[in-house]
Amino acid sequence: MTKISFIGAGSAVFTYEVMTDILMTPGLDEGTMALVDIDAERLELAHKITERVVEISGRNWTVEASVDRTQVMQDSDYVINTIEVAGLANVRHDFDIPMKYGVNQCIGDTIGPGGIFKALRTLPSWIDILDDTERLAPDALVMNYTNPMSLTCLTGIRASTLPIVGLCHSIQHTSQELAGYLGVPHRELKYRAAGINHLAWLVELTHNGEDMYPLLREKANDPAIYEQDPIRFETMLHLGAFPTESSGHSSEYTPYFRKRPDLVEKYTRPEYLGETGFYANNWPTWRKESDEWIQKMLSGEEEIEMKRGPEYASYIIEAIEQDKPAVIYGNVYNTGLITNLPYDGVVEVACLVNGDGIQPTFYGDLPTQLAALDQQHMAVHDLVATAVLEGDREAAFYALMLDPLTAAVCSPAEIRQMFDEMASVQAEYLPDWMQK
Catalytic residue numbers, as ranges: 169
Count the Cβ atoms, other than its own, within 10 Å of residue 431.
16
Helix (H, G, I), strand (E, B) or coil at 118: helix
At position 193, the amino acid (one-letter code) is A
Q: Is 370:333 a contact under the CB 8 Å cutoff?
A: no
d(CA 14, CA 46): 9
Q: DSSP assignment of 260-326, as one string?
A: SHHHHHHH--SGGGT-TTHHHHHHHHHHHHHHHHHHHHHHTSS-------S-SHHHHHHHHHTT--E
The end-to-end CA distance of the chain, in Å, is 50
Q: DSSP assignment of 23-75, as one string?
A: HTSTT--EEEEEEE-S-HHHHHHHHHHHHHHHHHHT-EEEEEEESSGGGT-TT
d(CA 147, CA 154): 12
Beta bridge partners of 411: none
Omega before residue 138 within 30° of 0, cis: no
Distance of CA 359 to the CA centre of its chain: 20
Helix (H, G, I), strand (E, B) or coil at 109: coil
Count the Cβ atoms, other than its own, within 10 Å of residue 270.
9
Nearest of 231, 247, 258, 253 to residue 409 by alpha carbon? 258
